[in-house]
Amino acid sequence: MSLDFLNQRLSVPSRQLGEPGPDAAQLESLLTAAIRVPDHGRLSPWRLLLIRGEARARFGARLAEIHAAQDPSASEAVLTKDRERYNAAPVIVAVIARIVSGHKIPEQEQLLSAGCVAYNLLLGAQALGFGAQWLTGWAAYDAKVAELLGLADGERVIGFVHIGTAAEAGVERQRVALAEVLGEWTS
């Protein structure tokens, strides 16, 4: 058994992702695999929201409107970036954590389970031959955007996973050496 797949995992910038995206069968397989994550208490503390087709441009336009209303001094370049951010990759999956407050399963475990879904989307997209990038940005943390996405109380965006065909190969970045982050508890 080899760990080559994990050692080769990398993100492809969303602006470099384009058509074709996963077809219906690939997308269903990808999403089904993505939700096979650790889930203490079987809460399924996450849900997925697809943003694709013409909805991508509408979502970007609404983000620009929200941003302009909140910051009237935002430059046109910044608002254009908001408008265009979701137009490259053919499929964007908003991973949404559904946190059950006061449950015996700590909120952090629920949040981490949702994070695992986003990471599985990255791995699964790569396994299917697609590029992907997990992004947040201001929209992931904004109350007006949460309202736009129809988030309920206790829900929050973990990230937007952009999936498509890479226009060029992803570039490996400098990674931390294991020795810099590894310790051993002995007491």
14-27 pLDDT, tens digit each: 999 999 999 999 99
Going by the annotation, the residues of the binding site are 9-11, 36, 40, 134-136
For residue 118, the model assigns a pLDDT of 98
Tell the burial category of 129 from Cβ atoms under 10 Å away from its Cβ (0-12, 13-18, 19+). Answer: exposed
Are 88 and 164 within 8 A, CB to CB?
Answer: yes
- Topology of the domain comprising 21-166: NADH Oxidase (3.40.109)
Per-residue pLDDT averaged across 58-67, rounded? Answer: 97
Residues paired with residue 155 on neighbouring β-strands, in sequence order: 98
Domain range list for the chain: 21-166
Per-residue pLDDT averaged across 123-146, rounded? Answer: 97
Q: Is the pLDDT of residue 36 over 90?
A: yes
- Residue % of the chain over a pLDDT of 90: 90
Q: Is the pLDDT of residue 55 over 90?
A: yes
- Nearest CA among 48, 26, 47, 41 for reference residue 129: 26
| More confident position, 118 or 2 | 118
For 159, the token pair is 């990230």
| More confident position, 169 or 177 | 177
For residue 172, the model assigns a pLDDT of 86
pTM of the model: 0.94
For residue 170, the model assigns a pLDDT of 79
Confidence of residue 169 (pLDDT cuts 50, 70, 90): confident
Which spans in the chain are helix H?
Answer: 4-7, 24-34, 55-70, 76-84, 107-127, 143-148, 178-181
- Mean pLDDT, rounded, of the chain: 95
Going by the annotation, the residues of the binding site for FMN are 9-11, 36, 40, 134-136
